């Protein structure tokens, strides 16, 4: 019962990270960065995005199709890599006067493609 109550309280107290936008991401950085529950949710969200994109690459590779991005074989991407890439993309959007409604998953994908371009097959 105590666990259920704790989970319910976390869900009420922490903003939901469904489809994160630049606006929500900046708000998180400004308002929730010191909140350990929010940080855990953001880490899980970003790690899952990166993992999903990695698995997409694996499927494309197995089908003989061009991968979306090509990380060096000796590099295992993690949360810190993804956040660094997202931060750079968010900064670029803000500097370019882009919309706050840009989805974070799209920015991560574009950032991965830019950071780790593939040779054309």
Asked if residue 66 is part of any domain, the answer here is yes
Range of the domain at 50: 20-115
Asked if residue 57 is part of any domain, the answer here is yes
Per-residue pLDDT tens over the stretch 23-42: 888 888 888 778 888 888 88
Distance, CA of 57 to CA of 59 (rounded, Å): 5
Asked if residue 7 is part of any domain, the answer here is no
How many structural domains does the chain have? Answer: 1
Radius of gyration of the chain (CA): 16
Q: Who wins on pLDDT, 115 or 4?
A: 115
Distance, CA of 18 to CA of 48 (rounded, Å): 12
Q: Who wins on pLDDT, 19 or 49?
A: 49
Say if residue 15's pLDDT is above 80: no
Asked if residue 85 is part of any domain, the answer here is yes
First to last CA, the chain: 55
Per-residue pLDDT tens over the stretch 100-116: 888 999 999 999 999 99
CB 79, CB 46: distance < 8 Å: yes
Asked if residue 15 is part of any domain, the answer here is no
The residue assigned the tokens 């956040």 is: 83
- Tell me the whole-structure pTM to 2 decimals: 0.78
Asked if residue 102 is part of any domain, the answer here is yes
The residue assigned the tokens 């993804």 is: 82
Asked if residue 61 is part of any domain, the answer here is yes
């Amino acid at each position: 019962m105590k666990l259920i109550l704790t989970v319910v309280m976390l869900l009420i107290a922490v903003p939901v990270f469904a489809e994160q936008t630049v606006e929500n991401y900046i708000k998180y950085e400004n308002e929730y960065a010191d909140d350990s529950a929010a940080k855990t949710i953001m880490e899980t969200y970003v790690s899952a995005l990166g993992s999903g994109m990695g698995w997409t690459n694996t499927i494309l590779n197995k089908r003989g199709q061009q991968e979306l991005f090509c990380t060096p074989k000796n590099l295992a991407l993690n949360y810190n890599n993804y956040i660094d890439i997202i931060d750079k993309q968010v900064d670029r959007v803000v500097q370019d006067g882009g919309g706050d409604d840009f989805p974070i998953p799209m920015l991560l994908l574009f950032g991965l493609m830019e950071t780790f371009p593939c040779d054309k097959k």
